Structure 1
């Protein structure tokens, strides 16, 4: 859709001459919004659009008729690589590293799609006899064909960061899809359990073979310890050697003997001191604290008291005093005798304690010497004992593990199970026939549009205003509407400026009129030539409408036909006898050749007979431009620069050049060639008019 804001102008009050002296003031510029360009492009390239659209539609229709509905069913499995530990009491699941469990979970995906699992499913479900999997004609190896078809229909995926695995199967039947999916999960669980049992059997057999070797190794290690101990007389008890035990015992006895010796020596010294210094009754030491000594000391004290008392009262010579003194001496003699006996007994005890101490010391020294002699042997013995202990520990571990594996062989330790069994699908999956047909239509439309755009880009033909402006580097003065006429009717010049003032012809004509301006001097008319890249009636039509507009606004206008083959002369109902060719050949003057159109009051100079050839600029100036100075404006319907050699001469003798191009007919290279031919007068080219 093309919306044009037509050129409007505001005339200042006053005479027309004053209006001619200065250009019009525009109230609004011409604004063209091309909303129908895309539609016109599709109309031009409809073959490129409809052909792929039809082909894709037919292909999608055929595909929709051939496609069969598919039903998919999914079973969810928990493929947990961690095993249940039912024998060991320390844990219920064997915990593995995160990397290992992730890799094991990924391995489960490959196992589910493996040929061993799917092959058993084929045999179990009889797919090698199903025409859907082997085809209408049975192959030579139906099992292999069914396996290949099943591999293409099975999809296995794992949820991120989990052990949940989805196994999907599609077939042409909903019940069949669910049955095969459940069969895959059942076969997988059976194979996994059987694999673990088989692995346990192999491990048990390997451990059993190693247990015999380890038992022999333990016996040899223990035998080596016993032989070395016997050879080096390293007899032990309770985990240590007898010599070491004796040293410890003798050391304890020696400490006790030394204490007894010291005690006996102290008692002996106390008795000897008591014999040398008679003591009072209260100073009696513990060593002389026997009952006899105590009794004798008490009698001695009584006798001494009686003797002293009698001596004081009776005198020293009294018989009682003498008898008391004799009794004191007798008690003293008995006391000295008892002390002597105690001294001999204490001395004997001391000698015995000292002898026992010396005997224990000698025994300890001897045992220490023996222990020092056995030091090197003990180092080697301990090494042999450590080796024997390590062999016993390994043997015990292998023996315990072998028993655990033996008990575990009959127990299913797998933690994998079915979370959600597959159920028959209620509706087919995949693309329906309507979706296929819609996809074909969309694909054909997209392909057709792509081809149209590609053709539009690669085609050198120009269509739009922007394309012409880009290719030429000149402003586009306007776009002319296509005139509707019968295909066989003869084109006719129409004064759209007066008949249809709101038409594009009127807008373009007035824009060119204002762009070129009025004559600058009364000695020369303002000359405008219209050239076209290829012959087109629209060039003549816009030139004629410019002449009509100039005649209405400026005064006298001369309309000249410089195109012998395609100018306006061929459209005249009555051709004049003389024309431009006669004027340039000096066969007649300009005044005689010009005729006046009564309706528009425009001077008409036809092409004439014989053509104008390639006139020089001087000839045109002398024969045409100079005599035409009585006109306010000269408008020339010129030829095509690439077809007529006179185009450049005519353009050089004019003030303004307007180049008319045809949308959908003018090619980029032709436009550029025409501009190149007009190179010497390129500065006079005011712009393009798109017809």
Structure 2
């Protein structure tokens, strides 16, 4: 199981599902040459197109459609407002571009053999024309029918090329149509545009005249027919009215109907009067029966005798109440007052009975009038019943006569209008602005072509840049590694370049091994500065207290992992930190071979066997000790004035031979367990142990050792060949093993030398 260690500076990198503006900027910055080349190429093509393309001139004529002379107006049934029929305007546009108008103009201007039109026909029309010509030639050129077909085909091809140069559009929401024609000759463009407008107007006038002629003939026959039917219907209505003695009044109603209406009104009035008298009599009778004198009927309220009696009644009641307060019951005064009240009430009842007699008389009179009105209504109804059916039939006959009369009048108006149109036909459109020779060409326009070609080239460049970035799966970008695999970048180390010989630099070494001590020979070179930046990133990961074992490996061989491991160990050693370099590359054992051959030149010193608690020595161990001592003397001899060279303090090295010597028994792969035990014994004695391992893609030992260290550093030295997919597949070889991946070092990168300070350049020189 691969685990990555996040940086301790608290920064968060973009996730795998997001792209930042910085990523886009980096893509554009990386592909600036491609974008620039595509932009220049597009601009060049635009210039060549503008120069090589023949000039085209377009002349336009404007005409307005008369809304009173054409069917382009309609009225909204709900609001009554006049609305423009856009479909009619579009129809007129298509009529201008019709083949009939085109043929008329071609014959008028003699454009049948115009080379400009014939050469602009499509390849399909040309191919079809050649085929027809070949068939006609095989069938015989003297045949009149075939010659006519050839002429018609030539006209069709000419019309195709002609209509390709015609443009018709509506100006805004107005009635104005703009007719344009394109040609290489400005004078011919203006002449053809005016001919199109005139042909359209002439075609409209001819159509209207022909339609008016046909309409007049039809209307004339319909007028004779409808006029006869209207006359016959009017005579039939008068004869039917005379036969049934139906008299019509001025307001088109019969006398019987008017009499029946008057009698009906009288009967209704009598019924209302009877109902009113009956209601008054009923109310007054109920009051008398209940011995009540409070009645608000008009005849009672306005009767002075009843009003006088009511006042006397009120005074008598007041006097009785006063006597009852002063005297006891049975007093003669109280008895007299009570008798007066009874007498007055009896008088009021008598007066009400007189009014009741009056109401009863009025009711009898109203009932008599009602009976008389009903008898008159029944008589009028019985007299007019036999004429109702006749009236209905008469109304239908009169309606038919009126319909024929209105239809005749409408047809007569249309006939008069059509006859006038036939005598003096008016066009549905008129020319507003005639076409003139254009002063400038319509196409190609450099102001349009050049910006378009520039934008097109730039867009193609951007597309190529994005496609290149999408297809480029190389693991050379730390952002891509972090985004797609979640691996932190520890830094970029540039390609090592040999510097001029400086004091303390080893001489006579092969150029292939010089980078192994670059941190000593060129302390302020871009390579060393980048490696020190990597060390700073490692310092943020290494704990402040205790020791740590870090393995350095790569995907395959030749990535420069040994160079990184050796220089990092020398850098820590020369900063007075306790460091141990372990050669765990059991395949190549490069550091072990250097320890045997030229350890002093690379400031390496194999550790003493006593470090493991082993006192036994072999010939190999003795030879290693001798090499170690010679390394120390070489370091002292290189320093003038007998002072030790602190820049070349040797780094302790655990070689492959020492690890294998620690293995016990005849086991073939005992060096792995021996290395694990050696690391456990050496951990308390060193703060940092750097283990140089083989490429884990091709070595099973490395995959085993990676699980024994605290963390591993992956060195990528061939960015052009190592893709994200290959790195992902390579990391899968660890399976479910718990391996802590501290980060990635991009070796042999060009980014490390871009920001080199002047001070470092001066010190290096």
Shorter-chain TM-score bucket reads 0.5 to 0.7
Measured in 1, the distance between the counterparts of 2:455 and 2:117 equals 33
1:516 alignment partner, SS class:
coil
| Aligned positions of 1:545-564 closer than 5 A | 545-563=567-585, 564=587
Partner of 1:68: 54
State the shift of 1:203 in Å. Answer: 1.5
Tell me how far 1:162 sits from its aligned partner.
2.1
2:286 aligned partner: none
The answer as to whether partners of 1:614 and 1:649 remain within 8 angstroms in 2 is no
Instruction: Give the 3-state SS of the residue equivalent to 2:62 in structure 1.
Output: strand
Find the residue that maps to 1:165 and give its secondary structure. Answer: strand
Is the CA contact 2:676–2:708 (under 8 Å) kept in the aligned structure 1?
yes
Q: Is 1:456 the counterpart of 2:469 in the alignment?
A: yes
Q: Identify the match of residue 222 of structure 2 among 210, 219, 230.
A: 210
Q: Specify the alignment match of 1:161 in structure 2.
A: 173
Please give the secondary structure, in 2, of the residue aligned with 1:515.
coil
Q: Secondary structure at the match of 2:424?
A: coil
Give the match for residue 601 of structure 1: 649
Asked if 1 retains the 8 angstrom alpha-carbon contact of 2:473 and 2:723, the reply is yes
Residue 278 of structure 2 corresponds to which residue in structure 1? Answer: none
- CA, structure 1 residues 205+544, in 2 after alignment: closer, same or farther (shift >3 Å)? same
Alignment of 1:255-294 (within 5 A): none
Alignment of 1:189 with 2:201, yes or no, is yes
Give the 3-state SS of the residue equivalent to 2:534 in structure 1.
Answer: helix
Asked if the contact 2:519/2:571 (under 8 Å) is kept, the reply is no
Quick one: distance in 2 between partners of 1:677 and 1:233? 120
Distance 2:62 2:625 in 1: 104
1:459-478 matches, within 5 Å, as 459-478=472-491
Matched residues in 1 for 2:172 and 2:482: separation? 58
Alignment correspondent of 2:557: 535
Distance, in Å, in 2 between the alignment partners of 1:378 and 1:628 is 131
Kindly indicate whether the alpha-carbon contact (under 8 Å) linking 2:96 and 2:196 is maintained by their aligned counterparts in 1: yes
CA contact (8 A) 2:183 2:189 kept: yes
Please name the residue that 2:523 is paired with.
499
1:82 to 2:91 alignment: no
Shift of 1:469: 1.7
Secondary structure at the aligned position of 1:428 is classed as coil
Within the alignment, does 1:660 sit opposite 2:715 as a pair?
A: yes
Deviations 1:518-550 (A, max 9, x none): 672xxxx64332111233454333323321221
Is residue 569–residue 651 contact of structure 2 (8 Å, CA) maintained in 1?
no
CA contact (8 A) 1:576 1:606 kept: no
Partner of 1:281: none
Which among 684, 688, 691 is matched to residue 744 of structure 2?
Answer: 688
Q: From the superposition, tell whether residues 218 and 535 of structure 1 become closer, same or farther in structure 2 (CA, over 3 Å).
A: same
Equivalenced residues, count: 523
Equivalent residues of 1:477, 1:512 under 8 A apart: yes
Summarize deviations over 1:478-525 as a string: whole Å, max 9, x none.
222333469x953522444771188221111233245324672xxxx6
State the partner residue of 2:297. Answer: none
TM-aligned CA distance change 1:499 to 1:573, over 3 Å: farther
Query: Separation in 1 of the partners of 2:492 and 2:422?
Result: 94
2:66 aligned counterpart, secondary structure: coil
Query: Does structure 2 conserve the Cα–Cα contact (< 8 Å) formed by 1:72 and 1:170?
Result: yes
Change (3 A) 1:35 1:213: closer
State how far apart, in whole Å, the 2-side matches of 1:688 and 1:110 are: 70
Q: Which residue of the partner structure matches residue 641 of structure 1?
A: 696
1:108 aligns with 2:92: yes
Alpha-carbon distance in structure 2 between the residues aligned to 1:125 and 1:448: 49
Aligned residue in 2 for 1:510:
536
2:316 aligns with none
Q: CA 1:227 to 1:373, structure 2 compared with 1: closer, same or farther past 3 Å?
A: same
Relative to structure 1, the CA distance from residue 565 to residue 177 in structure 2 (aligned partners, 3 Å threshold; closer, same or farther) is farther
Q: Give 1:437 deviation, angstroms.
A: 6.0
Counterpart-to-counterpart distance in 2, 1:500 and 1:224:
129
**Which of the residues 87, 101, 116 maps onto 1:117?**
101
What does 1:340-419 correspond to in 2, within 5 Å?
Answer: 387-388=400-401, 390-414=403-427, 416-419=429-432
Considering only CA atoms, is the larger Rg found in Structure 1 or Structure 2? 1
TM-score by length of 1: 0.62
Q: Gaps (5+ residues) in structure 1?
A: 1-24, 86-92, 245-369
| Greater shift in the superposed pair: 187-196 or 629-638 | 629-638
Instruction: Answer whether contact 2:581 2:651 (CA < 8 A) is retained.
Output: yes
CA distance in 1, matches of 2:596, 2:673: 33
How far, CA to CA, are the matches of 1:429 and 1:573 in structure 2?
85
CA contact (8 A) 2:233 2:401 kept: yes
Check whether the contact 2:596–2:627 (CA below 8 A) recurs between aligned residues. Answer: no
Q: Deviations over 1:446-497 (max 9, x none)?
A: 32432332232233312211111233323222222333469x9535224447
- Residue 519 of structure 1 contacts residue 526 of structure 1 at CA under 8 Å; is this kept in 2? no
Q: CA deviation at 1:686?
A: 1.9
Shift of 1:374: 9.6
Distance change >3 Å, CA 614–CA 429, structure 1 → 2: farther
Separation in 1, partners of 2:574, 2:209: 111
Unaligned runs of 5+ in 2: 1-7, 14-21, 77-81, 130-149, 256-382, 500-509, 636-646, 661-667, 748-765
Give the Cα–Cα distance (whole angstroms) in 2 for the partners of residues 653 and 233 of structure 1.
131
Paired residue secondary structure (1:157) = strand
Counterpart CA distance in 2 for 1:653 and 1:389 is 116
Q: Deviation of residue 661 (structure 1)?
A: 2.1
In the superposition, relative to structure 1, how do residues 35 and 49 fare at CA in structure 2: closer, same or farther (>3 Å)? Answer: closer
Contact 2:474 2:723 in 1 (8 A): yes
Separation in 2 of the partners of 1:237 and 1:434?
A: 85
SS at match of 1:553: coil
Q: TM-score, normalised by structure 2?
A: 0.57
Structure 1 CA distance, aligned partners of 2:102 and 2:419?
31
User: In 1, distance between residues paired with 2:155 and 2:436?
Assistant: 26
For 1:545, what is the secondary structure of its paired residue?
Answer: helix
C-alpha contact (below 8 Å) 1:527/1:633 kept by paired residues: yes
Change (3 A) 1:622 1:467: same
Q: Is the 8 A contact 2:696 2:702 kept in 1?
A: yes
Instruction: Tell me what 1:312 maps to.
Output: none
2: CA distance, partners of 1:224 / 1:419? 58
In the alignment, the residues of structure 2 paired with residue 177 and residue 417 of structure 1 have an alpha-carbon distance, to the nearest angstrom, of 20
How much does 1:204 deviate? 0.9
Q: 1:288 is matched with which residue? A: none
Report how far residue 658 of structure 1 moved: 1.5
1:671 paired to 2:727? yes
Q: CA deviation at 1:208?
A: 0.6
Which stretch shows the higher mean deviation, 570-579 or 68-77? 570-579
Q: Give the corresponding residue for 1:588.
A: 620
CA distance in 2, matches of 1:191, 1:394: 32
